Amino acid sequence: MAAIEYRLFFNNTSATREQLDRVDEIRVEQEVDMAWEARVRMAVRVDDRGKWTGEDEDFMAAFSRVRVEIRIGEGAFAALIDGPITGVDSNMNSEPGQSAVTLTVRDDSVYLDLEENVSRFENLPDHEIAAWIFGEFEQIASTDIEETPASGSSLPPMVVQRGTAMQIVRSLARRQGMHAYLLPGESPGRSVGCFKEFPTQTDGLPSLILLGERRNLSTFNAAHNARSPSTVRTSVLSITDKGVTARTSSFRDIDLLGEEPAFESETHTGARILPPHLGESLAPDRAASAEAACSAYAFEAVGTVRSPCYQGILQPYRVVSVVGVNGRLSGDYLITRVTHTLDRSNYGQSFTVRRNARSEGTGGGANDLAGSIF
């Protein structure tokens, strides 16, 4: 059984032994397009004079920083969260050893979500606006930004939006079929600002295996929404020549996580008309394809890993292979949500994954891979 280790940092400094001894449980919730959150439960007690101790220390103050890292076996430490304390819950009990404070920690997108403004950007593509916004915050030490295509409009691009910095950058990402989020950096206090599409390839995570001697999944429960995959139409009126440009995009035209689209029927496919505001300042084909790609994730599954057996650390915005489910469902999935639970004796991972494709089924590559595990 591989050893599981974790590291805890307060205000970018390694926690002391006394601080670590007070930690009862750490629970980290990670989800795409949402701020990541951790809840760190720490014991408090009463001294010989009847005075509470350990409930009001400097490292627990609002907007003090907390970072949690974990490692399985000989692998590298992976950061689960790095950001400020945004809340403290006190749970007092007359029974000895039952009192605790729980620190609520959010990722650094909190800083981007504090202040609302009316922002105006002229002659800048969306990815440059995202880079400018990320560059305004000292907590973001680096960026990972994918270039967005030209608008295709004859008019200079202009963006005027009201909201927080995080709301604006997520709105820009949404219309491009992309995602704006922050990830913990390689060292404490140095987050990474991301503006990217979902990945379509695995990047080294061990496969999740339901059956066989190497199984590392406890449960895997999948659901299919046949109403989701859609063909999307959009039309744009040019104010210069009064011409109309129409474009259509289908969920079948995007990069798939398997061999076949998520829905096979030609007669019951959904058809959507893109709302006008989603096509503003975008080329019509880009706007339609972004919406069609979003609709394509018709498969969603939730599950839990067998902690002693799985050697990877799951995180959203990554792709993982699932093996041993069945011929159609086995294959690559996008990780959209993970809950990490760490206490004094156990480490657990539960997850949600999504897929925009089916595998070939009996005789297909995924089925052969499933057979090889027995």
Q: Looking at residue 114, what is its pLDDT?
A: 93
Which residues neighbour 266 within 8 Å (Cβ) at sequence distance 6 or greater? none
pLDDT in tens, 27-56: 999 999 999 999 999 988 777 676 777 677
Which among 302, 299, 300 has a CA at the least distance from the CA of 221?
Answer: 302
Task: Give mean pLDDT, residues 269-280.
Answer: 66
pTM for the model: 0.87
List the structure tokens of 15.
């926690």
Q: Determine what percent of the chain is predicted with pLDDT higher than 90.
A: 50
> 24 pLDDT exceeds 80?
yes
Cβ 179 vs Cβ 317: under 8 Å: yes
pLDDT in tens, 318-331: 999 999 888 888 99
Task: Give mean pLDDT, residues 135-152.
Answer: 89
Q: How confident is the model at residue 274 (pLDDT cuts 50, 70, 90)?
A: confident
3-class SS of residue 247? strand
Q: How confident is the model at residue 71 (pLDDT cuts 50, 70, 90)?
A: very high
Q: How confident is the model at residue 366 (pLDDT cuts 50, 70, 90)?
A: very low
pLDDT in tens, 104-121: 999 999 999 999 998 888
Q: Looking at residue 280, what is its pLDDT?
A: 55
Task: Give mean pLDDT, residues 69-98.
Answer: 88
> 94 pLDDT exceeds 80?
no
Q: Looking at residue 364, what is its pLDDT?
A: 43
Q: How confident is the model at residue 365 (pLDDT cuts 50, 70, 90)?
A: very low
Q: Looking at residue 360, what is its pLDDT?
A: 79
Say which range, 136-150, 155-169, 195-209, 275-289, has the weakest mean pLDDT: 275-289
Pairing of strands 78-91, 65-72: antiparallel
Using CA atoms, how far apart are residues 235 and 245, in angstroms rounded to an integer? 5
Q: How confident is the model at residue 276 (pLDDT cuts 50, 70, 90)?
A: low
Which residues neighbour 214 within 8 Å (Cβ) at sequence distance 6 or greater? 309, 373
Q: Is 308 left (phi over 0), alpha (psi -120 to 50) or beta?
A: alpha
Angle at 249 between CA 248 and CA 254, to 5 degrees: 165
Which residues neighbour 371 within 8 Å (Cβ) at sequence distance 6 or greater? none
| Radius of gyration of the chain, Cα coordinates, nearest whole angstrom | 24
Angle at 247 between CA 262 and CA 283, to 5 degrees: 105
Residue 237 or 305, more confident: 305
Q: Looking at residue 154, what is its pLDDT?
A: 47
> 349 pLDDT exceeds 70?
yes
Query: What domains are there in the chain, each with its CATH number?
Result: 4-106 (no CATH), 111-196 (3.55.50.10), 208-224+298-371 (no CATH), 230-253+263-292 (no CATH)
Residue 229 or 61, more confident: 61
Q: How confident is the model at residue 212 (pLDDT cuts 50, 70, 90)?
A: confident
> 209 pLDDT exceeds 80?
yes
